[in-house]
């Protein structure tokens, strides 16, 4: 897979490029917003599929605001963008997602997690540029996010809610809660990264495998149903205009 790395710090770029190359990526390095846009397409050309499977975009660039660069990239191509930044607050994340980023990684990040996310967005969008031959798909998926999950294929616990991924069983305070297939898929998706905002389009394409606009209401209905079945209305938070996220309950919360 070809990957466009937008990073003005040569040391960071060199280290990251080496790691990515070891995992089968063909890395093109851009040192500024302008270089990044040049690498994609001339301005004014119709939006199209870029040669890259994924774009890693550092937000602190010398020439342009990283968020604006993201917006410009979005106008030129549908290639997934992962923002990489030291600004980890919720407002910055939401702003990034609003500017069209597909994911948001906060420095300092774990390389395994970054690789897992690159593969995840590439899979989600699977542009022709990203599908390609034998990329190192074995992504050392050490997605050690918030310490919530019991590892891949395990059980995710969120307060009184327990989600058993392999058996697709969900229980609240030890009592099984029957969920529909889509309700489970939706919950399992959000539970992959508690606290992280999932965009509506992203949820719809993952859970319903479609981008049909009418699914939007269906999503709302499923969220409402999950909130009531799990008896934790606050568990799934609506991020207005963006999507949803799981709120990690504090110790002793329910
Ligand atoms: Ca920078």
| Gap from CA of 9 to ligand 1 centroid (Å) | 6
pLDDT digits (tens, 9 = 90+) for 170-187: 999 889 999 888 889 899
| Gap from CA of 119 to ligand 1 centroid (Å) | 23
Q: List Cβ neighbours of 135 (8 Å cut-off, separation of 6 or more).
A: 1, 23, 24, 25, 53
Per CATH, which fold does 132-246 belong to?
Answer: Arc Repressor Mutant, subunit A (1.10.10)
Per CATH, which fold does 2-126 belong to?
Answer: Rossmann fold (3.40.50)
Tell me the pLDDT of the chain averaged across its residues.
80
Per-residue confidence (pLDDT) for residue 203, from 0 to 100:
87
Say whether pLDDT at 146 is over 90. no
**pTM value?**
0.51
Q: How confident is the model at residue 49 (pLDDT cuts 50, 70, 90)?
A: low
CA angle, 121 as apex, 74 and 146 as ends, to 5°?
Answer: 120
The verdict on whether omega for the bond into residue 108 sits within 30 degrees of 0, i.e. cis, is: yes
Delimit the CATH 1.10.10.10 region(s) of the chain: 132-246
| Gap from CA of 125 to ligand 1 centroid (Å) | 26
Q: At what angle do helices 200-207 and 111-125 cross, to 10 degrees?
A: 70
| Of 122, 137, 109, the residue nearest 49 (C-alpha) | 122
| Gap from CA of 85 to ligand 1 centroid (Å) | 8
What does DSSP say about strands 2-6 and 26-30: parallel, antiparallel, or unpaired?
parallel
| Gap from CA of 186 to ligand 1 centroid (Å) | 35
pLDDT digits (tens, 9 = 90+) for 231-252: 888 889 998 888 999 987 665 4
Delimit the CATH 3.40.50.2300 region(s) of the chain: 2-126
| Gap from CA of 180 to ligand 1 centroid (Å) | 45
> 200: which DSSP letter?
H
What is the distance of C-alpha 207 from the center of its chain? 14
Say whether pLDDT at 36 is over 80. yes
């Amino acid at each position: 897979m070809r990957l466009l790395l937008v990073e003005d710090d040569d040391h960071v770029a060199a280290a990251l490029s080496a790691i990515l190359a070891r995992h089968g990526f063909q890395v093109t390095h851009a040192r500024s917003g302008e270089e990044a846009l040049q690498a994609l397409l001339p301005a004014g050309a119709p939006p199209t599929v870029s040669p890259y499977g994924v774009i890693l975009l550092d937000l602190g660039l010398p020439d342009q605001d990283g968020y604006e660069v993201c917006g410009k990239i979005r106008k030129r191509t549908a290639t997934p963008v992962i923002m990489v930044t030291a600004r980890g607050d919720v407002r910055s994340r939401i702003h990034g997602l609003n500017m069209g980023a597909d994911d948001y990684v906060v420095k300092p990040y774990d390389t395994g997690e970054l690789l897992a996310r690159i593969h995840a967005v590439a899979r989600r969008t699977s542009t022709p540029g990203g599908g390609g031959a034998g990329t190192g798909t074995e992504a050392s998926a050490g997605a050690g996010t918030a310490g919530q999950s019991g590892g891949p294929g395990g059980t995710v616990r969120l307060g009184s809610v327990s989600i058993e991924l392999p058996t697709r069983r969900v229980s609240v305070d030890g009592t099984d809660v029957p969920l529909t297939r889509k309700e489970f898929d939706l919950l399992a998706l959000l539970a992959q990264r508690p606290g992280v905002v999932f965009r509506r389009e992203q949820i719809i394409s993952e859970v319903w495998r479609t981008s049909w606009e009418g699914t939007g209401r269906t999503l709302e209905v499923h969220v409402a149903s999950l909130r009531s079945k799990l008896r934790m209305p606050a568990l799934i938070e609506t991020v207005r205009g963006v999507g949803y996220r799981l709120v990690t309950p504090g110790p002793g919360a329910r």
